[in-house]
Structures are given as C-alpha cells and as structure tokens.
C-alpha cells in the first residue's frame, strides 16, 4: 500500500508518454473488443438457440407455403408433443414507415412449448377467448402507447373477404421472445380468424412449429417428419431453431480467418510498441532507480514497482477500450437482435492486457532490478 | 538554398543515427505495416468481389425483366418471350437463330462439402442457346443437357463446394430425379451455377412464365435501339438493362458493407499506429536533445529541424506500408472467402498497395508533426546545461 504514491508518480513521470501509451492500448483493445466480441457473440447466440423446437417448412425454400392438412400427419410422428400452424404476413400501422410482422398461430393448449415466447398465462388465455385478439411484442406497446383493450387498425397486403385490406385487432397482452433475432416487431394473432377472413391462400401455412417431447431425439424426429412427406407434392424440410440460426449467421463465420488475422496483427503491433517504449522509459530512469536502491529498496521491490506501473496503465486502458467496444453492440443488435458483448471476451481482453504488460515490461524491469548501484550512479 | 542544405544535413545525421535507435524505428515500421496490412487485406475482399462479379461482364449482353420487378424475379409469358425474338439488334448464332436465352430460376438446396452446412443456390432452367450467350462457358466433362429430359449441368465450382454434383449423380428435385450429365467452367466465376432445360424445369414446377430473358446484341451500340423497340411495343411489359448495370446493382450492398467495415477497422488501426509513431518519435527526439540543441546553437534553423524530423517519419512509414502490403499479399491474395452468400477470391492489387502507401504517409505525417515541433522548440540553454 505504501508503494502506491511511488507507483502513481512513476506512471506520470512523463505525462505525454503515459497518455499516448494509454490511448494506444485503449484503441487496440477497442478493436479487439468489437471484432472478437461480435464473433463470439454470434457464436453464443447460435449455441443458445433452442435445438428442441423444430420448424417444418416446404423443402424448396423458406417462403413456400404448406397445406394446413399436414398438421395431423406431423402430429402422428412419435416424439412430437405439440404442432402449431404458423402463417406470416406484414402490416403497417398509421404510416408506411411503421411496419410490423403479423404471426398467426393457433393457441391450442400447450402451444407455447413450440415457441420461444414468454407470455403471462392470463394473456395466453385472453388470446384463446378473443377471436380478433392480438398479443403484442413488448417494445411495440411502449413505442405506440398501446394499452390492453385498445383496438389497433393495421393495413395489410392480405385482402379480406369483404374486399378490405384494413384489419383491426384487439390488444389482449404482451410477450417477449428469447430466440435469436427475437427482438422483431411482431404481433401474435389467431390463425383460425385470420385464415377465415382472408380471400387468397386459405388453408395454407408458412411453417409448422413442433415441440418434441425428448430434446435428445429432436434430430430423429425431424428426419422422420421429412421421411413421411418425401416424394409427395409437399416435401418438407424440418430444422431446429438452432440450425436455422446457424444458417442465418454463418456468413459472419466465413470471415473468421480475417478476424483472427486482424486481432493478431493488433496485438503484435501493440506488444512491439509497448515493449520498446518500456525499455526506453526504464533506460531513462536508471539514475532514479539507482537512488531507490541506495535508499534500501530490494531488487524484488524495484521489479514489482515497475511491473505494477505497467499493469495499472494497461488494465485501465484495456478496460476503457473494451467499454468503448461495448458502445458498438446496441448498434449491432439492431441487425442481429439479442447480440451483446460476451463476458468471456471482456475477461480474455483484460487477461491479454495483463499478458502484454508483463511481456513488454519484464525484460527492462529485470535489468532494472539487477542494477549495480555504483555503476548506475557513475554513468550519470 | 540554405534551408535545403541544412535540411539535408540534419536528415543525413538522423538517418546515420538509426543503428542506435533501432527499437523505436522498428516500432514505427511494424505499427504502420500492421495497420496498412489490415486495411489492404480487408479492401482486397471488395476488390476481389468486384473482379469476380464484373470479370465476365460483357457489354453486348442485355437482361430483360418484367418492368418494376426485380431482375431474375420477373413474370414473362411465352407470348412476350416469342415477341422478344423479333426485336432488332439481336446477334445471330452459328445456326442462324437469334441468341436469346429464356430462364426460369428456382432455389434448390445443396450441402457444403467441408462443413455439411445447407445452402440454397439457384437452379437455372435455360435454353440451349446459353452456350452462345455465354461464350466463356467451356465444358470440361460430360455433355450439354438434352431438351425435355431431367438433366443437369453444373459448373466446376459446384463440384468443388458442394456434394452430389459428380457426373452421373442423381439429385431428387420436387419429386423427380435429375441426373448430372456435364461439368463446365464459366470464365472467372467462383459462384456455383447449375443449368437444366427450362421446359423440363417449368413443367416440374408447374410454372408457365419465365423469370428472365437474356439477349446478346450484335454490338453494344445496339442497346438504345433495342431498348426503344421494347418500349414501343405495347404488348411487352419488359425493361432492358445492360448486364454490367444489373451486376452493379446487385453488388452495391455487399460493396457498401465491405467498404464500411474495411475503413472502420483500417481507421482504428491507423489511429493506433499513429499514436505509436508519435510516442516513438518523441522518444527519438528526447534522446537527441543535446544533439539538436547543439545544432541550433551552431546556427541550424528551426524550420530545417521540423522538416527533417517530419521527413524521417515519412521515410519510416514507406517501408512499413510496403511490408504490410507484402504480408497482406502473402497471406490473403487468392484466398477464397464466401461471406454473405457471395464467394470470391481476395485480390491484392497495385492500386490497393498505392492506397496503403498513401495511408502510411498520412500516418507518418500526423505522427511526426508534434515531435517535430518539440524538436524545434528545445530551449538551447537548458538542453545544453543538462549535459
């Protein structure tokens, strides 16, 4: 503790140099934080996606429709717990820039098992009772100031049987979504109401959501579903949410080699710059260090003082850089909802800062510790 | 004259002193080379992608799409298609038939050879005139598909990237089996292209319209006449675009992303390298206080000192830029990347190297400014007294 003032004044011996080193370390770790953070963050999202929720969609692409009649056949596959039909469309609230997604589902008992939504039981019950009801994404309610019981008018591309494209839904509750990309602006409505009210495409769904009874058997169940429809006019492709997340985000994974190269270039350049700077700085301080030893500082104390100076600067700068990197994540999470700075990246960042500090300072600090007082003072 | 003599004199002294100051000099060079290396290799993605996309573009090729729809997603009826054959300016093939290609695209899935990952790519139903429309198409094995049969031909990049494209392989598509009968190379394209007979494909998918029609003109100059003829014909709801324009449109978004990321990362690296250079040059100037003060005392001007320190900083930036570009070339040139559904090879070109040198000079200049001013302002008396 009593060495603290000494360490502090050692850091500020040359304020200009201290600030430059601080900034350099800060910039390096800001870049490290952004690149490594995005990469690891995406990987974590994929790993966190549910492997036990399956999506059954047309085998050709994600935009084809399937007939609702497949539902019973899917339900009969052993291991399938719940099957929920899902139809997707979009709507506009008030003006064309306020878009939202309309997700029509059938709220049968247990349907929530096949989704990543969190919905209070009374809201789910209210949706079942209210034909024109809608459960709204939490953020949307706040943005547009909707309340439960409000009737919200939406314009949609889907034409109703009465020829109108205006749809009105009653807000019966709110939900949150824990899936990768779950932050989207969606509302959940009753499939049966939606399907009867529309003119075109009646009796079709975009996909079925399936919950399996045993998560370990998810792959077998998926294969079995696809096998049942193989060579029919409605070939299916069944995938877990995790596989879908992997597909959507793999483009970033393809840049791994580049991210690795950049991160290593940053650290190498930083290590070299700080090592030479430390060497220079300690060479300049030889007479002062000799005085310290004359006053009775042991070799170890001198070594530790110098090491501590470097550690304080590097850890503070790295923390600052990583904090800057975190500012990027709110922006990035607009593209990949749910993305956040992984704790492990922060930990690895701080650990690398310690490592860079120790490597760049240990050689000059060792030679400083081994100084012969007489020789050092004589060289003045 | 005097200034230049002084400047050169100091610069020579500076450079002669390098062996004693090798560490800070190396710091500048390594810092600059890392920054330039990263910038150049990131930009090499954009250059590679552009070279890849534009490499085979030809000015005499025109793509027709339904007016207002996105290219390759049109709805072109058989009547419209037949009318296109009568338009002026279309080049005639070896058999005397106009070189017009009718396409119908459907997405089909493939699996990557290495990772087993699923990926969608377009299966293009086309007419046999495609070989004259794409003169760069060269068969390396097997043969052309036959009309009316369920046969596929695939580019060699499909064979490299995906499973199930070897000659004789059967692929189930929409309830029927399709046999791979030919392999071809398509100019510089790295993208996987699979062709089948358009009529077989459309009857399999019970579709009645083409998604796009492509035409090869007699000369690129015929475009305006051709385009006007389409507009003049009320039964044609089509829009003609040059191939180059279509590719450019499709490429815009990727280009913007790549450029943003490259310059974002490049700028941060450059700031880091500049800070390193400032620190190193300060250290160099500090270690030479006495020398500089002596020079001032014997009559060297401040301006000459400023100029010489700045120049030294620029001198170290250039080998840094060249080293960085060389590393980028060695590690990344020709490397295949496939981000965002594209696939291309990174290309480190001389113009990128030139850009790297410009960035390095900017870093050197920005980094050298403050230390140069400090060097010129060393108070002569205090510096000399410190001896």
Q: Quick one: pLDDT at residue A61?
A: 54
Cut 0.80: pTM above it: no
Cβ-based contacts of B39 with chain A (< 8 Å): none
- Count contacts between A and B (CB, < 8 Å): 116
Residues B331 and B264 in one domain: yes
Q: Which residue of A22, A24, A28, A232 to mutate against B (max B Cβ within 10 Å)?
A: A24
Tell me the DSSP string of B208-258.
Answer: -SBSEEEEEBSSGGGHHHHHHHHHH-TT--EEEEEHHHHHHHHHHHHHHHH
**Dihedrals phi, psi of B299, to nearest 5 degrees:** 110, 5
Q: How far is A273 from chain B (nearest CA, A)?
A: 5
For β-strands B194-197 and B151-155, DSSP reports them as antiparallel
CB-based contact (8 Å) between B260 and chain A?
no
Beta bridge partners of residue A92, listed in sequence order: A99, A155
Q: Is B339 on the interface with A (CB under 8 A)?
A: yes
B31 and A252: CB-CB below 8 Å? no
Q: Are residues A355 and A256 in the same domain?
A: yes
Q: Does B9 touch chain A (CB under 8 A)?
A: no
**Which residue of A246, A258, A277 is in closest CB contact with B279?**
A277
Could you tell me if A127 and A189 lie in one domain? yes
Same domain for A42 and A84, yes or no, is no
A324 plus A185 within the same structural domain: no
What residues make up the domain containing A257?
4-47+252-378
Put simply, the answer to whether A17 touches B42 (Cβ < 8 Å) is no
Task: Please identify every stretch of chain A with a pLDDT value under 70, giving residue numbers as ranges.
Answer: 1, 60-64, 180-183, 250-254, 379-380
Instruction: Note whether residue B59 is domain-resident.
Output: no
Evaluate whether residue A11 is within a structural domain: yes
Q: Is the same domain home to B186 and B320?
A: no
Same domain, B275 and B359: yes
**A72 and A218 share a domain?**
yes
C-alpha Rg value of chain B to the nearest Å: 31
Query: What's the pLDDT score for residue B211?
Result: 84
Chain A residues within an 8 Å CB radius of B23:
276, 279-280
Per-residue confidence (pLDDT) for residue B341, from 0 to 100: 61
CB–CB of B339 and A20 under 8 A? Answer: no
- Beta carbons of A166 and A155 less than 8 angstroms apart: yes
In a domain, residue B243? The reply is no
- Using the Cβ of A276 and the Cβ atoms of chain B, whether some distance falls under 8 Å is answered with yes
Q: Answer with the one of B236, B258, B274 that is the final residue of a domain.
A: B236
Residue A117: its H or E element: strand A117-119
Question: Which residues of chain B are modeled with pLDDT < 50?
Answer: none
Residues 25 through 84 of chain A touching chain B, CB cutoff 8 Å: 27-28, 30-31, 35, 59-61
Model confidence pLDDT, tens digit, residues B312-327: 889 889 999 999 999 9
Q: Are residues B262 and B356 in the same domain?
A: yes
Same domain, A26 and A64: no
A139 assigned to some structural domain: yes
Cβ B26–A35 below 8 Å, yes or no?
A: no
pLDDT at B148: 86
The answer to whether position B60 is within a domain reads no
H/E stretch holding A136: strand A133-137
Q: Report the residue from B107, B268, B286 with minimal CB separation from A27.
A: B268
User: Do B77 and B204 fall within a single domain?
Assistant: yes
- Cβ contact (<8 Å) for B276 and A31? no
B120 to chain A: nearest residue by CA?
A61
Domain membership of residue A325 (yes or no) is yes
Tell me: do B269 and B204 sit in the same domain: no
Residues A210, A215, A217, A219: is their CA dihedral positive or negative?
A: positive
B34 and chain A in contact, CB less than 8 A: yes
Query: Is A24–B276 a contact, with Cβ atoms under 8 angstroms apart?
Result: yes
Inter-chain CB proximity B37 and A279 less than 8 Å: no
- My answer on whether B48 and B79 are in the same domain is no
Q: What is the DSSP string of A40-55?
A: HHHHHHHHHS-SSEEE
Q: Where does a domain end: B187, B205, B236?
A: B236
Question: Is B200 found in the same domain as B126?
Answer: yes
Q: Which residues on chain A are in Cβ contact (under 8 Å) with B26?
A: 272, 276
Find the closest chain A residue to B38 by CA distance: A262
CB proximity B43 to A under 8 Å: no
In a domain, A110, yes or no: yes
Residue B197 lies in a domain: yes
Same domain, B155 and B107: yes
For residues B318 and B277, what is the distance between their CA atoms, to the nearest angstrom?
13
* Nearest-Cα residue of chain B relative to residue A282: B283
**Contact yes or no for B220/B59 (Cβ under 8 A):** yes
In a domain, B273, yes or no: yes
Range of the domain at B157: 68-236
CB contacts under 8 A, B 197-256 vs A, are none
| pLDDT tens profile B6-55 | 888 888 887 887 887 888 888 889 989 999 998 998 898 888 888 877 87
Res A364: pLDDT = 87
Residue A334 buriedness (CB in 10 A; 0-12 / 13-18 / 19+): exposed
How far off is chain A from B26, nearest CA to CA, in Å?
8
Checking A157-163 for CB contacts under 8 A at 24+ apart, the result is: A157/A89, A157/A90, A158/A89, A158/A194, A158/A198, A158/A200, A159/A198, A159/A199, A159/A200, A160/A197, A160/A198, A160/A199, A161/A196, A161/A197, A161/A198, A161/A199
How many domains does one find in chain B?
2
By Cβ distance, the residue of B172, B174, B282 closest to A17 is: B282
Would you call A268 and B30 a contact, using CB atoms and an 8 Å cutoff?
A: yes
Q: For residues A266 and A230, state if they share a domain.
A: no
| Domain stops at, among B180, B204, B236 | B236
Whether B335 contacts chain A with CB within 8 A? yes
B63 is a domain residue: no
Exposure letters B5-40 (e unless 16+ CB within 10 A, then b)? ebbeebbeebeeeeeebebbbbbbbbbbbbbbbbbb
Q: Is residue B48 part of a domain?
A: yes
Q: How far is A170 from chain B (nearest CA, A)?
A: 35
Residues of B in contact with A32 (CB under 8 A): none
Which of A57, A229, A269, A277 to mutate to probe the B interface, most B CBs <10 Å? A269
Measured in degrees and rounded to the nearest 5, phi and psi for residue B256 equal: -65, -45
Q: Are residues A199 and A268 in the same domain?
A: no
Q: Which two tokens stand for residue A333?
A: 């999470």
Whether residues A273 and B27 touch (CB distance < 8 A) is answered with yes
**Do B165 and B200 share a domain, yes or no?**
yes
The token pair at B370 is: 């403050």
Domain count, chain A: 2
Q: Looking at CA atoms only, how far is residue A127 from chain B in angstroms?
A: 37
CB–CB of B27 and A254 under 8 A? no
With beta carbons under 8 A apart, name residues in chain B contacting A232: 175
Chain A residues 97-156 within an 8 A CB cutoff of chain B: none
Residues 6+ apart with CB under 8 A from A31: A262, A263, A266, A321, A325, B265, B268, B269, B272
Q: Could you tell me if residue A246 is inside a domain?
A: no
């Amino acid at each position: 503790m009593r060495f603290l003032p000494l360490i502090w004044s050692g850091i500020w011996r040359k304020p200009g140099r201290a600030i430059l080193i601080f900034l350099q370390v800060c910039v390096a770790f800001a870049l490290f934080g952004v690149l490594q953070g995005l990469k690891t963050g995406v990987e974590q999202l994929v790993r966190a996606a549910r492997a036990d929720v399956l999506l059954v969609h047309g085998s050709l692409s994600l935009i084809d429709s399937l007939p609702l009649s497949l539902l019973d056949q899917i339900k009969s596959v052993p291991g399938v717990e719940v099957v929920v039909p899902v139809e997707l469309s979009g709507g506009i609230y008030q003006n064309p820039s306020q878009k939202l997604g309309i997700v029509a589902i059938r709220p049968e008992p247990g349907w929530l098992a096949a989704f990543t939504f969190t919905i209070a039981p009374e809201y789910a019950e209210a949706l079942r009772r209210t034909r024109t009801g809608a459960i709204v994404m939490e953020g949307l309610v706040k943005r547009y100031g909707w309340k439960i019981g409000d009737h919200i008018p939406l314009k949609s591309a889907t034409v109703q049987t009465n020829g109108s494209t205006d749809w009105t839904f009653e807000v019966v509750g709110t939900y949150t979504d824990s899936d990768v990309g779950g932050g989207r602006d969606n509302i959940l409505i009753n499939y049966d109401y939606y399907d009867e009210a529309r003119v075109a495409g009646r009796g079709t769904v975009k996909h079925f959501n399936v919950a399996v009874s045993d998560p370990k058997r998810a792959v077998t169940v998926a294969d079995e579903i696809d096998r049942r429809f193989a060579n029919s006019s409605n070939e299916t492709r069944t995938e877990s949410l995790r596989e879908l997340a992997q597909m959507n985000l793999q483009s970033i994974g393809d840049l791994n080699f580049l991210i690795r190269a950049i991160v290593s270039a940053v650290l190498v350049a930083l290590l070299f710059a700080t090592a030479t700077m430390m060497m220079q700085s300690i060479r300049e301080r030889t007479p002062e260090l000799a005085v310290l030893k004359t006053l009775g500082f042991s070799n170890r104390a001198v070594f530790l003082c110098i090491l501590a100076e470097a550690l304080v600067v590097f850890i503070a700068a790295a923390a600052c850089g990583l904090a800057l990197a975190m500012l990027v994540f709110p922006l990035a999470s607009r593209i990949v909802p749910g993305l956040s700075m992984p704790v492990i990246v922060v930990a690895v960042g701080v650990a690398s800062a310690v490592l860079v500090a120790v490597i760049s300072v240990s050689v000059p600090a060792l030679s400083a510790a081994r100084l012969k007082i007489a020789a050092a003072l004589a060289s003045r | 004259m005097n200034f230049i003599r002084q400047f050169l004199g100091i610069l020579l002294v500076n450079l002669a002193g390098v062996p004693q100051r090798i560490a800070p000099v190396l710091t500048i060079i390594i810092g600059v080379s890392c920054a330039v290396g990263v910038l150049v290799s990131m930009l090499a993605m954009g250059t590679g992608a552009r070279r890849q996309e534009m490499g085979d573009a030809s000015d005499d090729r025109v793509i027709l799409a339904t007016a207002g729809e996105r290219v390759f997603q049109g709805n072109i009826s058989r009547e419209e298609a037949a009318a296109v054959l009568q338009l002026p300016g279309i080049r005639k093939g070896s058999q005397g038939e106009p070189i017009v290609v009718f396409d119908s695209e459907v997405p089909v899935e493939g699996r990557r050879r290495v990772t087993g990952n699923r990926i969608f790519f377009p299966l293009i139903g086309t007419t046999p005139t495609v070989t004259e429309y794409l003169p760069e198409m060269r068969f390396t094995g097997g043969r052309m598909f036959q009309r009316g049969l369920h046969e596929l031909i695939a580019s060699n990049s499909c064979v490299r990237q995906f499973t199930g494209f070897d000659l004789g392989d059967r692929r189930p598509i929409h309830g029927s089996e399709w046999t791979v009968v030919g392999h071809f190379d398509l100019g510089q394209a790295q993208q996987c292209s699979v062709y089948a007979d358009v009529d077989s494909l459309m009857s399999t998918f019970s579709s009645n319209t083409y998604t796009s029609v492509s035409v090869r003109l007699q000369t690129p100059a015929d475009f305006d006449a051709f385009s006007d003829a389409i507009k003049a014909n009320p039964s044609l709801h089509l829009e003609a675009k040059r191939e180059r324009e279509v590719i450019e449109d499709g490429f815009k978004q990727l280009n913007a992303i790549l450029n943003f990321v490259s310059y974002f990362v490049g700028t941060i690296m450059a700031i880091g390298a500049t800070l390193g250079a400032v620190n190193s040059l300060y250290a160099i100037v500090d270690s030479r206080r006495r020398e500089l003060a002596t020079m001032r005392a014997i009559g060297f001007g401040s301006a000459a000192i400023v100029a010489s320190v700045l120049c030294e900083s620029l001198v170290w930036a250039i080998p840094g830029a060249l080293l960085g570009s060389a590393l980028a070339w060695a590690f990344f040139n020709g490397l295949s990347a496939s981000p965002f559904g594209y696939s291309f090879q990174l290309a480190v070109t001389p113009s990128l190297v030139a850009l790297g040198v410009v960035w390095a000079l900017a870093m050197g200049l920005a980094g050298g400014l403050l230390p140069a001013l400090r060097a010129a302002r060393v108070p002569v008396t205090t510096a000399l007294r410190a001896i």
